[in-house]
Structure 1
Amino acid sequence: MQTDVVAEVLRHPKYQELVKRRTRVSMAFFGVTLLIYAGFILTMAYLPEIFAQPLGPNWTMSVGLFVGLLVACSAVILIALYTYFSNKVFDPLLAAIMRDVQ
């Protein structure tokens, strides 16, 4: 019986839509995250003098520390956005699939 439910879910057209949307959104978030982290790491590796500079005259905080904080904050923001998107789009689609199958 369990196998029948799984097969029925896999054949459901809304499930195919869910997989496509989730894959597209996940890849977009992955691309943004990769761009942010790769940019940070490559800048740190090839242009460390930029990160060593202070933010302004008489500032003790360096550009590298500030950008590192921005990278960490971007991770939190991206996680919150993905969670919001998941709750508003993916969960209703999944609930509709479960209603149709059961």
Structure 2
Amino acid sequence: MSDKDVVTAVLKHPKYQELLRRRNRMSMQFFIATLVIYAGFILTLAFDPELFGSPLGPGWTMSIGVLLGVLICISAIVLVAVYIYFSNKIFDPLIKAIVKDVS
């Protein structure tokens, strides 16, 4: 089988179409989640900067902005971990099945 035939077989494979559909849907969901998190942070910073400078509570030295910045970093780590989990559980088996069927 030539390289061109392999590519054509992969592109027509129903599991490849399912892989594309699932990966695109998941990527869009992660994009929206990331957009909401970061845009919310930036818009709050732009329109209510005093909120970020205020302390968490009376007597606290940490500001709300610092806490939100740390939470955004943690959310990025969590989103990457969730994507890796789904990639290993959903996408990798589909890719292995496609390679097995086409080879």
1:46 correspondence with 2:52: no
What's the C-alpha RMSD, in Å, of the aligned pairs?
0.4
- Structure 2: distance between partners of 1:63 and 1:95: 46
Corresponding residue of 1:93: 94
Corresponding residue of 1:76: 77
Fraction of identical pairs, as percent: 61
- Structure 2: distance between partners of 1:7 and 1:47: 54
User: Where does structure 2 lack aligned partners over 5 or more consecutive residues?
Assistant: none
Where 1:56 maps in the other structure, the secondary structure is coil
Equivalenced residue count is: 102
TM-score, normalization by structure 2: 0.98
Partner letter of residue 65 of structure 1?
V
4+ aligned runs moved over 6 Å, structure 1: none
1:11 correspondence with 2:12: yes
- Structure 2: distance between partners of 1:46 and 1:68: 16
- Structure 2: distance between partners of 1:30 and 1:70: 17
TM-score, normalization by structure 1: 0.99
Corresponding residue of 1:35: 36
User: Where does structure 1 lack aligned partners over 5 or more consecutive residues?
Assistant: none
Structure 1 position 3, deviation (Å): 1.1
